[in-house]
Structure 1
Amino acid sequence: MGTQNRLLGAGLVTLGVAMATVAVLGPLVLDVLRYRISATSLNQVIGGDAAALAVVVPITVTVGFLAIRGHPAASVLALAPSIFVVYTYTQLIIGNEYLQLPGNVERFFPLLLAVFILAGAIALRAWNSVPAGRLPPTSVAVDRTAGVLLLVIATFVLVGLHLPNYLDAMRDHPDTVQYLSSPTAFWLVKFMDLGIVVPAAITVGIGTLRHRQWARKPVYALLGAYTLIGASVAGMAITMVARDDPDASTATAVGSVLLTALLAGLTCAVYRPLFRRAGTAPSVAVAPARLEESTV
């Protein structure tokens, strides 16, 4: 177990360093790595890289050192940054207009792919090492809040972020700048958010509201990952407003910041039992009064 913890920790620290390297090489700092994307998508990458350096990288490295030290919560905590990287790097790699816009991102494909593979391996390793039956219990109030917030996330992503510009894309003459300038990225994000993020949030949200045992591990993963994704989306929205992007929306920026703050607070509440000292945490994952409720 000690060797496995050290390997997980080393992987997380490496992942954090790799993310920082990509962000520094990109348009935020050195502009050596140039994506083949539109000006609007470029603003989003800059905001996402800023959020990665300020929030995601420090969290990833910190969790890595916790794993190296053998902290029992490390595997659960590792789910959030690894899932975040799989989600965002899929878009960084695929969401380019390779034959239409200038850039050199293909030269950095091995680096981006290596980060993606490392994050996927960490996510699988962390998921398989977290037995749902040994997770500490959360209160009914926390479960209810988590379930409701996951449903709010699904609604915000569907109605607030994607429905307006999707309806515009269905017109004979759409005028959404991002769609017209970066259709590949536009549809890729639609596919991932509406095909993965929204269904996962709805499914786990309902399961958490109903106190289902199968939802206990996914709720840790989703709340943590969505908090990091929310920070990235907030960084993108703020950057677009600051740089007077034609697709910028102050309402989206404010909404994403508020939703990220709510997510961060709830995630801390859900994760808090993981940091109880050995011997003080409950020995079962579900309180006796809720055993029947937790049966599918």
Structure 2
Amino acid sequence: MSDMTEPGERSRDGLLPRGALVVAAFLGAVVVAALAVLGPLGLGVIHYRTSQSGIWQTMGVDAVNLLLIVPVLVIGGILVLLKRDGAKYFLILAPVTLFSLALEAGIGQEWGNPAYTGNVERYAWLFIVEIIVALVLLVGSLPMFSERDAPEFGRKGLRIYVTFVTLLLVLFTVMWLQELVQVSTTGNTASGSYLNAPVAFWMVRFMDLGITIPLGFLGMYLLLTRPEKAYALVLLFFGFFVTMGTSVTAMGLVMFFNHDPEAQAGALVIFPLLTLMAWAGLLYLVKDKLPWSRRVRELRARTTPAAGVK
């Protein structure tokens, strides 16, 4: 996505001062980048209290954070500075993801297991900053949208898309529920992931089954029934789907290439499909805002004969 505004178009005022959004966006970018650089993907200064599989998963997340989350925040901050309406389409993508990153990294450590040593608690303040930034961006970006921002949706294509994503979400749900049944009946998962890192296991399942998957179903419902009125909320949801889906796919790839026994073959299929559908959905939601879409409309307007002219 680029600026997504007409030349000279200015942003709609939100609830918070523009300066607060600028500071939040740039601060969020700095914090996310710092955590990635200081973590196992970069300098290895931050040592997380988790299993080796958890370390590999963190590396996948950090790679996506550097390549996706940081640019989104920086571009959004720059566009806010320029008073461009396109800023909101970037800022709305980050809040839920920042919440998730902070909670999973800050809480999902194996604090009570002496086998896992680390120093992540020294950097807890960075996770707290992520949560504060997420709150500011959420409160600041949502009111910047109006019903006029919603594009025109083709009902048939929309139904097909919603049906397909819903089926993938159901498969995702079943996969996680199977692991919960395994833990409750045998005390461990088939891959051994539960006993290796039980806190991380429950943190991820609570996030996915309690937030991610319900958000997915809610997002599909709103996209199908109230796309105009709920446009900002749907964008918020899809921002999370895109960023977190990409992160989970990267996690799976890192685990696969490191021959992690906790890597699940089903996840390597379902998560990339969900990620592709999330990206497709996001592009569908902003298709009328993209520069090439405007050029196509302008070209059609020039080539379409005026009414009554032969």
Q: Smaller-chain TM-score range?
A: 0.7 to 0.9
Tell me whether 1:189 sits opposite 2:217 in the alignment: no
Structure 2 equivalent of residue 290 of structure 1:
none
1:149 & 1:193 partners in 2: Cα distance?
A: 19
> Residue 223 of structure 1 contacts residue 267 of structure 1 at CA under 8 Å; is this kept in 2?
yes
How far apart are 1:153 and its partner, in Å? 4.8
Structure 2 equivalent of residue 67 of structure 1:
80
C-alpha offsets along residues 24-66 of structure 1, whole Å, 9 cap, x if unaligned? 1111111111111111111111111111112221222122212
Match of 2:54 among 19, 25, 41: 41
What are the ranges of 5 or more consecutive residues in structure 1 without an aligned counterpart?
281-296
Amino acid of the structure 2 residue aligned with 1:87: S
SS at match of 1:171: helix
Structure 2 equivalent of residue 167 of structure 1:
181
How far apart are 1:203 and its partner, in Å? 2.3
Match of 1:79 among 81, 87, 92: 92
Structure 1 equivalent of residue 153 of structure 2:
139
Structure 2 equivalent of residue 180 of structure 1:
195
Higher alpha-carbon Rg: 2
Match of 2:144 among 104, 115, 129: 129
TM-score (norm 1): 0.84
2:160 & 2:237 partners in 1: Cα distance?
A: 14
2:281 & 2:219 partners in 1: Cα distance?
A: 15
> Residue 237 of structure 1 contacts residue 248 of structure 1 at CA under 8 Å; is this kept in 2?
yes
Q: 1:110 to 1:212 in 2, by over 3 A?
A: closer
SS at match of 1:80: coil
SS at match of 2:230: helix
Structure 2 equivalent of residue 89 of structure 1:
102
> Residue 48 of structure 2 contacts residue 109 of structure 2 at CA under 8 Å; is this kept in 1?
yes
1:60 & 1:213 partners in 2: Cα distance?
A: 25
How far apart are 1:177 and its partner, in Å? 2.1
1:217 & 1:248 partners in 2: Cα distance?
A: 35
2:248 & 2:108 partners in 1: Cα distance?
A: 16
Structure 2 equivalent of residue 232 of structure 1:
247
What are the ranges of 5 or more consecutive residues in structure 2 without an aligned counterpart?
1-12, 298-310
2:182 & 2:94 partners in 1: Cα distance?
A: 33
1:202 & 1:259 partners in 2: Cα distance?
A: 13
Tell me whether 1:51 sits opposite 2:61 in the alignment: no
C-alpha offsets along residues 116-150 of structure 1, whole Å, 9 cap, x if unaligned? 2112221122123333x332333134643553355
Structure 1 equivalent of residue 214 of structure 2:
199
Q: 1:83 to 1:40 in 2, by over 3 A?
A: same
Provide the alpha-carbon RMSD of the alignment.
2.4
> Residue 242 of structure 2 contacts residue 275 of structure 2 at CA under 8 Å; is this kept in 1?
yes
Q: 1:212 to 1:52 in 2, by over 3 A?
A: closer
Taking only the aligned residue pairs, the percentage that are identical comes to 26
TM-score (norm 2): 0.81
Tell me whether 1:262 sits opposite 2:277 in the alignment: yes
How far apart are 1:171 and its partner, in Å? 1.6
Give the length in aligned residue pairs: 277
How far apart are 1:112 and its partner, in Å? 1.6
C-alpha offsets along residues 93-127 of structure 1, whole Å, 9 cap, x if unaligned? 00011131211111111122112211222112212
